[in-house]
Amino acid sequence: MEAVQYLGESLWPGKLGHILLLLSFVSSILAFVAFAKATNGEVKQKLTWSGMGRAAFSVHVLTVILAIGLIFYIMLAQLYEYEYAWAHVSEELPLQYIFSAFWEGQQGSFLLWMFWHGILGMILVWRADRWHAPVLSVLSAVQVFLLSMVLGIYFTADFQLGVSPFGLLRDAENMADLPIFAQANYLEQIEGKGLNPLLQNYWMVIHPPTLFLGFAAVTIPFCYAVAGLWKKEYKAWLPAVLPWGLFAAAILGTGIVMGGAWAYEALSFGGYWAWDPVENASLVPWLILIGAVHMNLVAKATGHSIKGTYIFYLLSFLFILYSTFLTRSGILGDSSVHAFTDMGLEWQLIAFMATFLVAGLWQYVRHRKQILSPPKEEELTSREFWLFIGSLILLFSGGIIIFSTSLPVFNQLIDVWGGIVGKDLSDWHRATPEDVMSHYNKFQIWIALLIGLLSGTSLFLRYKESRWADRRNKILRQLGIALIISLPLTYVVNMWIQATSFPYHALLFGAVFAIVINFSYLATVLRWKTRAASSTIAHIGFGVMILGILASGLKKNYISSNPFAMQGLFEAGDDRVNKNVYLIKGKPMFMNDYLVTYLSDTLVGNNRSYRVEFAKMKEGADEVEDQFEVEPYITYNTEMTEMVNPNPDTKRYLHRDIFSHITSVPLEVQSTELAKQFEDSLKYQQIALMPGQQMTLNGQQIGLAAINMQPTHKEYAPEDNDLAFGLELQVWDSVDAPVVLKPMLVVRDGYYIFSYHDQSNEHHLRIKLDQESLDAVFPQESLLEYQPFSGKQGDIFEVADKVIRIAGFDREPESPSYVKQEGDIAVAARLEVMTKSGQPLGVVKPIFLIRDNHTYLIKDYQPTVGLSAKFTAIHPDTESFDLLLADATGAQRPIPMLVAQDVPRTDFLVLETIEFPGINLFWLGCVMMMGGLAMGMVQRAKHTS
Amino acid sequence: MRIKKIHIVALIMAVVGVVMLLSASKDLSTYATFGEAQKVGKAVKVVGVLAKDLPMVYNPEEDPNLFTFHMRDQDGVAKRVLLNEAKPQDFELSEQIVVTGRLKGGDFVASSILLKCPSKYKDQELATRNDI
């Protein structure tokens, strides 16, 4: 095939981008080598190498930033010739989500990660202390690997290094063969896919950068650890790394909690933590990092646990890489709801992990023997011993979590092994447990209990304790007092939380004890000096967080569980609850002390929001104790053709949250396609009624009250040239009260017919009009016999059984069939029609129109009057008028209409409402923990410099 | 070699670790087909696809907490699946379904469900302006 010359493509940003990334890649290699030389080389050359390294690293960071800027340009300019722009933005994407669109994709998030490495690295470049060369050398090596993920260089057709964010759409996999790319002007025809609406949320703006700053921050202690081994200064790195460790722990922790807040607030997971593999994958490095920081404190103060500090910092970084592998390789596809889409980078990610695993461990093993510990072991009564134990427990916690999280990896390894031995070993595959939450919780309860007990107690102990005998009584007294306060306090708190099993009682005690004993430390030892209280605050935060988890988890209560709903399908004794309740608009429903009413729904922009009122009733009385409204909503796509996702709404109190989430809405509002399917599934039958007539249809009475020539309908927006009519029907049966239904039909521009149905949900009945009803309401001209009449104002004629009087004229006539234009001469005759006995039937107004020297007759027909009239001529000399009148009573027939019975309701809402007591304790605890870590970082950083 | 505290700690950790991992692996469920689920009797995970030719019912008016559909497992066996939840959004679009639960009287009673949706946002289709 001949190469197509494409039109309108802007290719320079892509070429420039490739060059920038390549330059960045090369400069990161240069920085790695130069800093390595600056670490190892001869003294006088060190300075030169370091200068080169810093220059190379600066170029690397600058090119990364420029490349990111270029991607933003491509996305903002909507250059859909680039796959990245096409896949992540669209015309409709609000500008504030351009960042979210950037890091939605793998390449963008890799670049974000590199960006943060670059920023942190530049701090080291700028400070240029004695650690900068080896630390930046390792950091540059990490950047080399990360950059390789976005290079997009093909070595052979099958082997590719990374996927470039500057790739063209027409070169993308599965795309090249599409017929559209045979057209030179394909760009004019395509539009972007845009950002997944689930991600169009402010959390998506702030959560990823925080999390990736956390990831990047974990790299720095790893670099220091390798640097310490490399320079054989096994102790000197300990104070330098500590602020970085605390910084990483605070930021990564904040990132994780933000993820939880996002899940809780905006998504429909019904909680802040689900032990999802993606969540676990970033929690595990954090747990190990917290262990590392404690080991770091011990090592710095006593010289014990130096090896532990190395191993923990190494592991926390390696688990970040492992988490990257899990979330980006596509391996979690079966077990997680929110991993990245697979990009075929699996082997590159494995190489990344393997390189740093081997390099890190090799460095450690090589130097292990030279790392000396103090000759005397830690005393059982020393702080260093218990901090060491605490850190091990955290590692343990991470190990158990990652074991269950790694099942998909194990399954794949089993398959690899099966391939080697030539057997199908898929029987060995294991899947996540049936009850994921309790699987993880049952182990972590005991770990949290131990941490709770240790977190305060260890503060009373001293490093290198040598006067234990003197202090023993004092410490034991402190512990005793804390115990005496904690036990009854636990009992009191449990009256609120109502834990029912021993493990939860124990954990509750652990949390209360942690809070009490840390307060006691704050009061008696620190004497309320908050400057030194960073660890105490973090530890109290831990206790508070556990209280929040217990309260919101154990007391989590489905308000929307309806006790009257059907039981029995699912086993008795099953603790599964019915979480959803079915609400009918305007009908209050009583559930779990609340009277809940779905009040209304309104469409604003792309959102349909549902107002739901909750009234809490006083026990045993008919009185409202508390009343509030929530407004969960569903979001439609930009074309308004289908619903994209539901969004919850939460009523917040200080002591609890009430979270409401839409789980189902009528098919009619879900999408136009489902609405059509729904309409098509209804079984309509035709009936016909004369005005004033009624009939019985399967036990339901239907009566036609009137024909309305000025109909209204909630979905009908009148336009000029609309010819519309509607019916007023009454529907009733022996059960439900009568309702009035008003279906209508519109003929627009004399060509399009729109039918607006009306429905009674009480009667499960829907009525609509069609073409036949139109023909019946407006009799065909050929069936009418017009008679000519001539006369003046006040004259009276008789047509069949009707008496007609020319009542007057209208020089500004108004009619649905007439649209006024400049220069029109229009006159309407006002004809009053009555029966022979003088009973008025109504008025008809035919119009005589002169427009552009042509005359037009606009006939008027009123079905309720039964007369059709045309105004044919004006004779100014005699002041008389010619009319054509036809009696249409004979032509009137019953109005046919289509009736569907047993129609499912369309005015309902299925709602899930959960009460989370004490959830603010969880957030408070998290904030205190991260705040404590951040305070610690600031103090240690001051101390170091 | 003198026994140090660290050795005792290591021993305790190792023992507790092994016990915990053994206990953890007991929790794990296995993948199965409907045929195997019948034999096993305990909770399993079945991977399959939605049988679009067989009925799928969610009638919230009757029971907002019951959704039933038919799923075809990897052997091509179709079974009715009962889910004690509202019908998940975009259910029809799912490429693959993983249900956890057990067989009871010919029906598969699911305690949880995971849908694999390439979803409308990730498919390799070009939306052209002409389509709209």
Q: Rounded distance, CA A429 to CA B30, Å?
A: 7
The pLDDT score that the predictor gives to residue B123 is: 39
Domain spans of chain A? 1-198, 201-352, 436-461+469-555+919-945, 581-670+907-917, 784-890
Name chain B contacts of A404, Cβ cutoff 8 Å. Answer: 24, 28
The pLDDT score that the predictor gives to residue A563 is: 55
Percent of chain A with pLDDT over 70: 96
Helices (H) and strands (E) counted in chain B, each on its own, are 3, 6
Q: Rounded distance, CA A626 to CA A614, Å?
A: 8
Closest CA to A164 of A348, A331, A329, A14: A14
CB of B25 less than 8 A from some CB of A: yes
Q: Nearest-CA residue of chain A relative to B108?
A: A570
What would the mean pLDDT of A859-864 be, rounded to a whole number? 79
For every residue of A302-346, DSSP letters joined together read HSTTHHHHHHHHHHHHHHHHHHHHHHHSSTTTTT-SSPPPP-S-H
Quote the distance between the C-alpha of residue A622 and its chain's center.
Answer: 39
pLDDT in tens, A263-293: 888 776 668 998 988 899 999 999 999 999 9
Q: What is the DSSP letter of A179?
A: G
The pLDDT score that the predictor gives to residue B130 is: 39
Q: Nearest-CA residue of chain B relative to A904?
A: B61
Q: Rounded distance, CA A498 to CA A505, Å?
A: 9
Q: Dmax over Cα atoms in chain A, in whole Å?
A: 133
The pLDDT score that the predictor gives to residue A11 is: 92
Torsion of CA A131, A136, A137, A139, to 10 degrees: 130
Q: Nearest-CA residue of chain B relative to A193?
A: B121
What would the mean pLDDT of A344-352 be, rounded to a whole number? 88
CB of B131 less than 8 A from some CB of A: no
In a 13 Å sphere around the CA of A273, the CA atoms on its Cβ side amount to 20
The pLDDT score that the predictor gives to residue A645 is: 83
Q: First vs last Cα of chain B: how many Å apart? A: 80
The pLDDT score that the predictor gives to residue A566 is: 44
User: Does the pLDDT of residue A569 top 60, yes or no?
Assistant: no
The pLDDT score that the predictor gives to residue A567 is: 47
The pLDDT score that the predictor gives to residue A556 is: 86
Q: Nearest-CA residue of chain A relative to B9?
A: A389
What burial class does residue A511 get, using C-beta atoms within 10 Å of its C-beta: 0-12 exposed, 13-18 middle, 19+ buried?
buried
A709 Cα to chain B: minimum distance (Å) = 35
3-state helix, strand, coil in chain A (%, to 5): 50, 20, 30
CB of B111 less than 8 A from some CB of A: yes
The pLDDT score that the predictor gives to residue A341 is: 65
pLDDT in tens, A808-831: 888 888 776 777 788 888 888 888
Residue scoring higher pLDDT (A573 or A839): A839
Q: Rounded distance, CA A493 to CA A509, Å?
A: 9
pLDDT in tens, A403-429: 999 998 999 899 889 989 988 888 888
Of B27, B98, B104, the CB nearest to A439: B27
The pLDDT score that the predictor gives to residue A639 is: 77
pLDDT in tens, A10-51: 999 999 999 999 999 999 999 999 999 999 877 788 889 999
Q: Nearest-CA residue of chain B relative to A662?
A: B86
Residues A870 and A846 sit within 8 Å (Cβ to Cβ)? yes
The pLDDT score that the predictor gives to residue A336 is: 67
Q: Dmax over Cα atoms in chain B, in whole Å?
A: 82
Residues A86 and A169 sit within 8 Å (Cβ to Cβ)? yes
Best residue in A432, A642, A662 to probe B by mutation, most B CBs within 10 Å?
A432
B47 phi and psi angles, rounded to 5 deg: -100, 135
CATH architecture of the domain with residue range A1-198: Up-down Bundle (1.20)
Residue A884: strand pairing partners: A788, A870
B80 Cα to chain A: minimum distance (Å) = 13
Do the Cβ atoms of A432 and B128 come within 8 Å? no
Best residue in B13, B18, B27, B66 to probe A by mutation, most A CBs within 10 Å?
B27
Name chain B contacts of A632, Cβ cutoff 8 Å. Answer: none
A181 Cα to chain B: minimum distance (Å) = 11
Nearest-Å Rg of the Cα atoms of chain B is: 22
Residue scoring higher pLDDT (A80 or A341): A80
Closest CA to A767 of A740, A793, A790: A740
Measured in residues, chain A has a length of 945
Name chain A contacts of B65, Cβ cutoff 8 Å. Answer: 565, 578-580
Of A191, A194, A429, the CB nearest to B31: A429
Number of neighbours of residue A677 by Cβ within 10 angstroms: 13
Q: Rounded distance, CA A528 to CA A542, Å?
A: 19
Between chain A and chain B, the number of residue pairs with CB atoms below 8 A apart is 135
In a 13 Å sphere around the CA of A94, the CA atoms on its Cβ side amount to 11
pLDDT in tens, A227-244: 999 999 999 999 999 999
The pLDDT score that the predictor gives to residue A778 is: 79
CB of B22 less than 8 A from some CB of A: no
Least confident of A332-341, A684-693, A788-797: A332-341
Residue scoring higher pLDDT (A564 or A184): A184
Q: Which A residues in the span 181-210 are in contact with B, Cβ-Cβ below 8 Å?
A: 188-191, 193-194, 196
Residue scoring higher pLDDT (A117 or A746): A117
Of A400, A407, A578, the CB nearest to B65: A578
Of B28, B59, B111, the CB nearest to A407: B28
Q: Residue A69: helix, strand or coil by DSSP?
A: helix
A373 phi and psi angles, rounded to 5 deg: -105, 155
Name chain B contacts of A180, Cβ cutoff 8 Å. Answer: 126, 128
Q: Nearest-CA residue of chain B relative to A645?
A: B89
A373 Cα to chain B: minimum distance (Å) = 13
How is residue A646 written in tokens?
């539901």
The pLDDT score that the predictor gives to residue A469 is: 86
**A183 band by pLDDT with thresholds 50, 70 and 90:** confident
Percent of chain A with pLDDT over 90: 51
The pLDDT score that the predictor gives to residue A171 is: 84
Name chain A contacts of B117, Cβ cutoff 8 Å. Answer: none
Q: Nearest-CA residue of chain B relative to A403?
A: B21
What would the mean pLDDT of A533-538 be, rounded to a whole number? 94
Of B63, B114, B121, the CB nearest to A196: B121
Q: Residue B88: helix, strand or coil by DSSP?
A: coil
Low-confidence ranges of chain B (pLDDT < 50): 119-125, 127-132
What would the mean pLDDT of A200-206 be, rounded to a whole number? 86
In a 13 Å sphere around the CA of A468, the CA atoms on its Cβ side amount to 11
Closest CA to A340 of A350, A354, A353, A325: A325
CB of A672 less than 8 A from some CB of B: no
How is residue B48 written in tokens?
């399959």
A663 Cα to chain B: minimum distance (Å) = 6
Q: Which A residues in the span 228-267 are in contact with B, Cβ-Cβ below 8 Å?
A: none
Least confident of A74-83, A567-576, A632-641: A567-576
Q: Nearest-CA residue of chain B relative to A566?
A: B63
Mean per-residue pLDDT of chain A: 88
Tokens 């308004």 -> residue: A640
**A572 band by pLDDT with thresholds 50, 70 and 90:** very low
Q: Rounded distance, CA A318 to CA A225, Å?
A: 13
Tell me whether 0.90 is exceeded by the ipTM.
no
Name chain B contacts of A337, Cβ cutoff 8 Å. Answer: 114
Q: What is the dihedral sign for C-alpha A266, A272, A276, A278?
A: positive
Of A432, A439, A582, the CB nearest to B61: A582
Question: Which residues lie below 8 Å from residue A415, measured CB to CB, with a gap of 6+?
Answer: A425, A426
Q: Which B residues in the span 43-82 are in contact with A, Cβ-Cβ below 8 Å?
A: 43, 45, 47, 58-61, 63-66, 82
A574 Cα to chain B: minimum distance (Å) = 10
**A2 band by pLDDT with thresholds 50, 70 and 90:** low
Of B61, B63, B127, the CB nearest to A191: B127
Domain spans of chain B? 29-122
The pLDDT score that the predictor gives to residue A340 is: 66
Residue scoring higher pLDDT (A87 or A141): A141
The pLDDT score that the predictor gives to residue A334 is: 64
Best residue in A387, A582, A665 to probe B by mutation, most B CBs within 10 Å?
A582
pLDDT in tens, A185-200: 888 888 888 887 778 8
Do the Cβ atoms of A434 and B16 come within 8 Å? no
In a 13 Å sphere around the CA of A911, the CA atoms on its Cβ side amount to 32
The pLDDT score that the predictor gives to residue A780 is: 73
Name chain B contacts of A914, Cβ cutoff 8 Å. Answer: none
Do the Cβ atoms of A385 and B5 come within 8 Å? yes
Do the Cβ atoms of A392 and B13 come within 8 Å? yes
Least confident of A50-54, A893-897, A912-916, A928-932: A893-897
Residues B38 and B77 sit within 8 Å (Cβ to Cβ)? no
Pairing between strand A589-591 and A594-604?
antiparallel
pLDDT in tens, A588-603: 988 888 999 999 999 8
CATH architecture of the domain with residue range B29-122: Beta Barrel (2.40)
